Structure 1
Amino acid sequence: MPTIFSHALLPLAAGVALGRRRIAPPLALAGAFLAAAPDLDVIGFRFGLGYASAWGHRGFSHSLAFAAAAAGLLALSWRPARSIGAFVFLFLCMASHPLLDMLTDGGQGVALFWPVDKTRLFSDWQPIRVSPIGARFFTARGLETVRSELMLIWLPALILSVACYAWRHMRARS
């Protein structure tokens, strides 16, 4: 899995790229939380859930169905999320998590289509180093992960969000 920081970055970068009128800062922050939230499933390790279980790490919480349900619950319970656009943004934020995880070079894949299909999936292209879980993050392996994410996630997100921001402001001046 990419680090929790990289998962949260994408919705924040999208908020900058699309602008406050389309994505209000509180909605971008909610998107960042939803994008990182699927990894809360690691708590299952403490309760004896195996990695390969549908309820384990990268299982149901990494599915598109779970992303839709979480975005829907937030849209029903939080006024700023009560529009189709906000729902779609929140769904995409949470769905970005398993899609990024599929690009990593470790783990057992992602149950993207759970509950219809419990198969764990990876992308054919896996350029991102998988992040160590827990204290092992603070090792040379964790540093490798951060390095790969800076080049493959952070830099492209920064370039795209700054370019969109600049384009929006140039258009507003003309």
Structure 2
Amino acid sequence: MPTIMTHAFVPLAVGMALGCRAVPPRLLIAGALAAVLPDADVVAFKLGIAYAADFGHRGASHSLLFALLVGAFGAFAHRSLGTTRWRALAWMAACTASHPLLDALTNGGLGVALFWPWSDARLFAPWTPIRVSPIGAGFFSQRGVVVLLSEARWVWAPTLVVAGLLTAMRMAWRRTPAFPARDSQTDGA
């Protein structure tokens, strides 16, 4: 799995690039938290739930159904998030779904139960360039540094490029007049 910082970084960068009209500050913060939420399933280890079980790590909480449920919660709370019901649903679901999609790009673990409850299969993407992060205190080691460098290369840099492009598009859109001025030479005047 990527680190929780990386999971939160993706919606923060993209949301800030889209601007506060599209993603108000409270929705932005909620999206970053939603992107980290699936890893709350690590409590399963303390509860004696096996890693490969439906409710183990990277199980049900890493499914698209879970992302949709978080999105539905966002839709329910849309007023407190400062946005419309549909925007809250879409943003919260997308931010939550970004978590298992990034985890599927890692080179370790059991994969993600993306299609749970319809399938118990744990999936990886065809390409797994991101180094898997150690869980717990193991992160504070040389392996943790290697993971952060891997995430910088494969997640942070591409996310910043996308965020830069979105920002440029938003700025260009803002400068484009809604109704272009009429050209008196081509109007026949």
Calculate the TM-score normalised by the size of structure 1: 0.94
User: How far off is 1:39 after superposition?
Assistant: 0.3
3-state secondary structure, aligned to 1:73: helix
| More helix by percentage | 1
User: How far off is 1:135 after superposition?
Assistant: 0.2
- Number of aligned residue pairs: 174
How far, CA to CA, are the matches of 1:98 and 1:167 in structure 2?
28
Partner of 2:4: 4
**1:153 is matched by which residue type in structure 2?**
V
Partner of 1:71: 71
Which of 154, 159, 162 is matched with 2:161 structurally? 159
3-state secondary structure, aligned to 2:101: helix
Deviations 1:35-89 (A, max 9, x none): 0110010011011111011110000000011111122123213413542122111
Q: Which runs of 5+ in 2 are unaligned?
A: 177-189
How far, CA to CA, are the matches of 1:71 and 1:171 in structure 2?
28
How far, CA to CA, are the matches of 1:19 and 1:127 in structure 2?
30
**1:32 is matched by which residue type in structure 2?**
A
Partner of 2:96: 94
How far, CA to CA, are the matches of 1:24 and 1:77 in structure 2?
14
How far, CA to CA, are the matches of 1:94 and 1:135 in structure 2?
25
Partner of 1:126: 128
User: How far off is 1:11 after superposition?
Assistant: 0.8
User: How far off is 1:15 after superposition?
Assistant: 0.9
Question: Contact 1:103–1:125 (CA<8 Å) still a contact in 2?
Answer: yes
Question: Contact 1:76–1:82 (CA<8 Å) still a contact in 2?
Answer: no
RMSD of Structure 2 on Structure 1 (CA)? 1.3
How far, CA to CA, are the matches of 2:70 and 2:173 in structure 1?
35
Q: Percent identity?
A: 49
Calculate the TM-score normalised by the size of structure 2: 0.87
Equivalent residues in 2 for 1:20-169, closer than 5 Å: 20-79=20-79, 80=82, 82-169=84-171
Question: Contact 1:81–1:87 (CA<8 Å) still a contact in 2?
Answer: no
3-state secondary structure, aligned to 1:22: coil
Question: Contact 2:76–2:85 (CA<8 Å) still a contact in 1?
Answer: no
Q: Which runs of 5+ in 1 are unaligned?
A: none
Question: Contact 2:64–2:97 (CA<8 Å) still a contact in 1?
Answer: yes
Task: Pick the structure with greater CA Rg.
Answer: 2
